[in-house]
Every structure is written in structure tokens, then in C-alpha cells.
Structure 1
Amino acid sequence: MSARREPISRRERPAKPALSRQWIVETAVRIMRAEGLEKVTMRRLAQELDTGPASLYVYLANTAELHAAVLDALLGDVDLAGGGAGDDWHDHLFAVLTSYMRVLFEHPQLARSALVARPSGENYLRLLERLLDLLSRSGAPREQVAWGADTLLQHATATAAEHSTQEHAPTTEDDWNALTVAVHSVDEATHPAIKAHMPALLDGSVEDRWRWNFDVLVNGVTHTPVPGGTAD
């Protein structure tokens, strides 16, 4: 007859570390880097953290809030100094937004999520503070600066989402080739505007177009009054 197995007291088991929002988000970032954003779910996190999904809802309301928190964590990689862009506020602003785009570009799924996510963490607030500070140096009224920073972020996010998705999509080259053939083949009688604006319609690198779009937006922000705004 075998000896009776002595039960192990709970007191002798290694204690699990207490959950915290920071630990949950750090784990989510690690999962995203290794497996992709689609794997960052409450259930997957609960398995990784050796707890029940219900425990996570004490710290995060839903998956959307979780993804927003992951985005905010990654925004800590944005170069807010502007990459040594000199003393010009315009160049600094361009450099900061370009760094923001590069962070999103590395994570296509996160870039798409950023189109609807509403980060509110400290890294996002630091980014917003920096953008407002730089744009305000243009001398534009505060309403234009406020709306302009939001517009610039939206455009940078959309650009990153578009091009990072294309970069990693298997059909991107085929799609581009099909579009190129289509616009080059239009009949001038039925599509005179397209014909008149070729080849400029498809010309230009991603970098050149981003810089031009940035300049267009900044010029518009600094010279277009906000409806009902003050001209201070």
C-alpha cells in the first residue's frame, strides 16, 4: 500500500503577483509583438497572466480600451525631440509626426486600430502636448492650433494605416499594377480629367507625398480661421 500523499498547503505555493493595469498592458504589448494584435484579447491575456478574464475587467472595460492602452504604451517610442531637426518649429513638427507614423508603420494592425482607438494615457498626452506646443509657435490662433493638431494626427494615422497595410499585404503589388494599367488605359473622351492629370496622378514617392501633404495641412491650419474662433 502506497504512502498517503501529503496535501500541499496554499501557504506553501508560490504567490502570484498582484494584477495591475501596467502589468496587464505590458503583457498585452509583449503578446502583440510576438503574435499580432488580433491575439490581444481578454481571454488570451487571462491565460498568459494565469487568471480569469473577469479579473481583467476591473482594470480595462473592454478589448477596445485594451488596444487603446497598447497603442499608448507604444507611443512612448515616438521621438518627441524631433530628431535634431534644428530650431525651426515646422521641421520639428514634421519630424515628430514622422516618428509617430513610423511607430504605427511597424504594427499594421495597430495602425488600423489607431483610426478608431481613443488613447488617453500619459504617452498620448505627451505627444499631444508636443504637437500643440510646436504648432502654436506658428503664431496661429489657439482654436486653429487645437483643431490643427487633431487634423495632423488624423492624417498621419490614416497614412500609416494605409501604407503599413499595403506594405504587408500579399496582393499589394498586383493591386497597384492593376490600378496603373487602368488609369493609363482610360479613354480621354470619357475620362478627360484623369487623362489630363497623368502621369502626375501616380507620380511621387510615399515620402515626398507625405511631406507635401504635411505642408499643405500646416499651411491650411495656420491660415484658415476656425468657424466662430477668435483671432488672437
Structure 2
Amino acid sequence: MTDRPTTPTSRRERPAKPALTRAGIIATAVSLLRAEGLEKVTMRRLAQELDTGPASLYVYVANTAELHAAVLDELLGEVELNPAGEGGDWRDRLAAVLTSYTGVLFRHPALARSALTARPSGKHYLRLLERLLTLLDEGGVPLTQAAWGVDVLLQFATATAAEQATRSQSAQAADEWDALTRAVHDVPARTHPRLHALAESLLSGSPEDRMTWCLQMLVNGISQTPTPAPAPAPHSDN
């Protein structure tokens, strides 16, 4: 009995690979993030997922930092820009937007840490900025103070998400909190009178209450603190 000769398959008859696009690369990166975490979102791993070489991806994404910034921007589409509706105090609505932003980052701890240095510039980030600036304007915050202040608000919200998300992954988080609680409560009044007197207040409040208070404190400071006057142009004798 002789084996039948294998009939070769023409390359033209094989299913064609989808054309690479920046949108497709980012979508694959987001799927990889959700499944395996940001650490797996590398150019090499993406190339494997897309059945191509890493060099092909650099035509659409300059480097891993740009890739992570694009992934962050894509996820910012999940931020609720009007979670509290149109009624109520503008400060409460501003806090609700930033709380939603923090929640998106909290669900992806590595992305929250990356967001501390990433500089997204996509459509979702721009929409978030526009919403925050609109709310600050509604509250009568001077324009330049709002422009500077929105950066501070996002830095605080990002740092809060990164801190809480990182601690939530730590197996020692509860033990570390217990150790801090004991240390603060056991400090001698003779050597640390202020710390001893405020021990209860230092550790009080839920994370939600503290975040709301911090946002209100920052907004009040932004609205009341003028930005520096522009430096005068250097004088020229020519």
C-alpha cells in the first residue's frame, strides 16, 4: 500500500492575515491586559498574538511607553463623565468623575502605576480633560488656575489608585496596617505630644471619605490660589 502524495497548498489559498492597524494593535493590547496584566503587554508578545514580527508594530507604535499610554487612553473610555447627573453641586460632580477615573485604574494595578508617568493624548483623555475643565469653569474657577489645577487633580487621583491597587495586591497589607496602628497609638505623649493627641484622627475615615475630602480640599485650593504672574521678557538694548 502506497501513501497518497501530499497535495501542496498554494500560499494564495491560505487565509490572509488581517492587515495591521494601530487600532487593531491597541485593541489586542487591551485584551491582553485584561487577560494577563500589563506586564504581558510587550511588543514581542503583541507580535505573537498578531502573527507578525515585532518590527512591524513599530510602524504604528513607537515604543512600549507609547503603547501603554494608548492602552490607558482606551480604558479611559470607561470613565463615567457624568455619573452624578446634571443636578447638585459642581464639586460633587467633579469628585464623582475623578472617583470613576480612579476606579478604572484600580481595576488594573500595573496600569495605575504606569499612569503616574504615562502621557496619554488620545480622544478619551481629551474628553476627560474637557469635562473636568467644564466643571471647574461652572464653579467660577479662573481659567488659568483651572488649567493648572486639573493636572493636580488627576495626579492625586492617579496616585491614589496606584497606592490602593498596589496595597490590595500585597499579602502583608493587613499586617502592615496593624503594625502602623499599634505604633501610632503606642507613641509616648512625652516625646510625641501632637502625634499622641491626634492618633485617632490620623487613622480615621474610610478611603472613600478621605478621597472626597482631599478632592474638596484641592478644589478649594485651586479656586483660591492664583497662578504666578508671567515673568517679564528680558530687556534688550538692541
TM-score using structure 1 length? 0.94
Q: In the alignment, what sits opposite 1:80?
A: 81
**Paired position in structure 1 for 2:36:** 35
Q: Which residue of 1 aligns with 2:157?
A: 156
3-state SS of paired residue (1:189): coil
User: Following the alignment from structure 2 to structure 1, what is the Cα–Cα distance between the partners of residues 31 and 3?
Assistant: 45
1:193 alignment partner AA:
R
Q: Could you tell me how far 1:189 is from its partner in structure 2? A: 2.5
Q: Matched residue of 1:199: which SS? A: helix
Q: CA contact under 8 A between 1:82 and 1:93: conserved in structure 2?
A: no
More displaced 10-residue stretch of structure 1: 153-162 or 81-90: 81-90
> What letter matches 1:164 in structure 2?
A
Q: Give the corresponding residue for 2:235.
A: none
User: 1:107 aligns to what?
Assistant: 108
Contact 1:85/1:95, CA 8 A, preserved across alignment: no
**Greater displacement, 144-153 / 180-189:** 180-189
The corresponding residue for 1:178 is 179
Within a 5 Å distance, the mapping from 1:16-165 to structure 2 comes to 16-84=17-85, 86-165=87-166
Return the offset for 1:84: 2.2
Cα displacement (A) at 1:188: 2.2
Q: Which is worse superposed, 69-78 or 161-170?
A: 161-170
Which 4+ stretches in 1 moved above 6 angstroms?
Answer: none
Question: Following the alignment from structure 1 to structure 2, what is the Cα–Cα distance between the partners of residues 104 and 197?
Answer: 32
Q: 1:39-88 CA distances to partner (integer Å, 9 max, x unpaired)?
A: 11111111111000111111111111111111100000001113326243
Question: 1-side partners of 2:155 and 2:86: how far apart?
Answer: 22
Q: CA deviation at 1:90?
A: 1.6
The number of residues matched between the two structures is 229
User: TM-score normalised to the size of structure 2?
Assistant: 0.92
- Identical columns (%): 64
Amino acid in the other structure paired with 1:93: L
Question: What is the identity, as a one-letter code, of the residue corresponding to 2:93?
Answer: H
Partner Cα separation in structure 2 for residue 211 and residue 56 of structure 1: 42
1:157-208 CA distance string (max 9 Å, x none): 1111111111222111011011111111112232222112111011110011
Choose 1 or 2 for highest CA Rg.
Answer: 2
Partner of 1:199: 200
Distance 1:170 1:68 in 2: 29
Structure 1: runs of 5+ lacking an equivalent: none
SS at match of 1:160: helix
Q: Give, in whole Å, the separation in 2 of the partners of 1:85 and 1:165.
A: 33
**Using the alignment, how far apart are the partners of 1:23 and 1:212 within structure 2?**
41
The residue that corresponds to 2:234 in the other structure is none
Corresponding residue SS for 2:153: helix
Local SS of the residue matching 1:166: helix
CA RMSD in angstroms, aligned pairs only: 1.3
For structure 2, the 5+ residue unaligned runs are 231-238
Whole-angstrom CA distance in 2 between matches of 1:167 and 1:203: 19
